[in-house]
Amino acid sequence: MSARPILSPKSLILMSSFAACLLGGLAFAQSDGASNEEGEAAIPFALPQSGPFTPAEIKIDNDKAIADWFRSAHANAAAEAFSHWDDDGEIRAACATCHSGEGFRDFHGLDGTEAGVVNGTINTGGVVDCGTCHNAGLANIKEITFPSGLVHPVQGVEASCLTCHQGRTAGINVETAIANLAVDEPNGDLRFINPHYATAAATWLGGYGASGYHYDGKDYSGRFFHARPVASCNSCHEPHTLEVEFEPCLTCHQANSPEEIRIARQSYDGSGNVSVGISSDISANAETLLDLIRDYTEEVAGAPVIYDGNRYPYFFSDANGDGVIDTGEDGRPVAYGSWTPRSLRTAFNWKLVTADPGNYAHNPKYALELLYDSIADLSGPLGIDFEAMDLLR
């Protein structure tokens, strides 16, 4: 007799989630006690009353949508976004809203609990399931509050998208942290403020959403309305695969991919090259800003920093300047602890822009403005001729 395979708890949970979506897509029986037209009791499950039968004979109206979702990032239970808490055995309430469907429903009160808070930890193994975006209660959510304090109106599934792609912090958090501190003096109490990940909604709302650190006296582009009929996330993203539907872009743009689309005739990165997509300008200015942050920490703050995008908090100490991250007595990397108000606010803007890989489509002007102002901010103490860089805002 062959041994039966043993499934992990996580596998069972994901299978249950998939099965729930599958059964939810089958157009069969009604609620308990319901009857069909002949007066017979309706069967509350999706299998035929008699066999033999084959699975292919069972009609599933939304089987393609389920299959598309199952291969998307939202359903990848092994991804860091959903597996990060596996060793803990539970997801912290502060993280559960966006890292499990159960937590999302808890936060918005779609499970009958108090709205606006996750009531305790959530079991691991969940993903962004069907009930996250197809819950009937979403129709009752009329507004979403952003980290900046902005209260933005939403309709339907927009509530799901904007809840989980807004980031966790905003420029106001940076302003509060550096208030009344000497701008170029390292302060051991300052810590890197992380805007979080996949911040598409934060970018999209631009200056209106106030997600970035805004410099005094500067105006920032607001929500990126693009062009009709682009009005929401689903205007460009297939809602189940999450892939970008590029064909509609060709109505107005000539390009081979979204990254190759150019929205302006001038160069923003000083290269003078306008034959590439605007994403190239944003990437170039982001690289320039990170280089200046490194130079500033070494030459002005006197404490070099090393960036490692694979582990939090990303910026680490290099006290002896040997290009290797310092480690403590416990063998762990030493987080950078010599932030000045100037380096902290520029690093925040850099991380906010680069945390959204689709910044060139979501709000290219806002991304370029944040990078431009941050580069200008660092050029002064570094003695750089900013005008000679030939950047455009």
Q: How many CA atoms lie within 13 A of 236 on its CB side?
A: 19
Cα(169)–Cα(187) distance, integer angstroms: 20
Cα(277)–Cα(56) distance, integer angstroms: 46
Element housing 65 (H / E): helix 63-70
Cα(347)–Cα(377) distance, integer angstroms: 11
Segment 128-141, tens digit of pLDDT: 999 999 999 999 99
Cα(145)–Cα(159) distance, integer angstroms: 10
User: Nearest-CA neighbor of 220 among 273, 158, 182, 170?
Assistant: 170
Encoded tokens for 27: 């157009």
- Of residues 38 and 93, the one with the higher pLDDT is 93
- Of residues 73 and 52, the one with the higher pLDDT is 73
- Residue 214: what pLDDT? 98
Segment 265-315, tens digit of pLDDT: 999 999 999 999 999 999 999 999 999 999 999 999 999 999 999 999 999
Map out the domains of the chain as residue ranges.
60-140, 175-303+338-389
Segment 4-55, tens digit of pLDDT: 444 444 544 454 555 555 444 443 333 344 455 555 555 555 555 666 777 7
Amino acid at 324: V
Percent of the chain whose predicted confidence (pLDDT) is above 70: 87
Q: How far is CA 197 from CA 58, 146, 212, 266, 356, in A?
A: 40, 14, 14, 30, 7
Under 8 Å between Cβ of 101 and 131: yes
Under 8 Å between Cβ of 198 and 330: no
Cα(308)–Cα(324) distance, integer angstroms: 11
Segment 182-215, tens digit of pLDDT: 999 999 999 999 999 999 999 999 999 999 999 9
- Residue 115: what pLDDT? 95
pTM metric for this prediction: 0.85
Under 8 Å between Cβ of 69 and 75: yes
Element housing 144 (H / E): strand 143-145
Segment 220-277, tens digit of pLDDT: 999 998 887 788 899 899 999 999 989 889 988 999 999 999 999 999 999 999 999 9
Percent of the chain whose predicted confidence (pLDDT) is above 90: 79
- Residue 21: what pLDDT? 53
Cα(19)–Cα(115) distance, integer angstroms: 27
